[in-house]
Structure 1
């Protein structure tokens, strides 16, 4: 028994999730705040977030 969705096909790009999210971020945006911790108020910039998610190769 087959199933056909009433919705159009979803395009899944052939890039990593990291590149999909941060691949086209502008240099000017790297020092903008990405997250603010609600409990403690700690702020994380996009630059810090990218560095934490994509450490340099060993």
Structure 2
């Protein structure tokens, strides 16, 4: 039991740092790849494209 709370705190900090990097990686994939692929649909299927753009909008509550 001794030292366990500290170990959990360290693990939590490490996991948070990993999450930050994973979110950064995911954002880069969306911006650099998927957003460009979706431009194909801008004319072919405007409703689909507009739905994608709306879904990509970050809503901060």
TM-score by length of 2: 0.30
Larger Rg: 2
Q: Under a length normalisation based on structure 1, what TM-score does the superposition of the two structures give? A: 0.31
More strand as a share of residues: 1
Which has the larger share of helix? 2
Pick 1 or 2: higher relative contact order, CA cutoff 8 A, min separation 6: 1
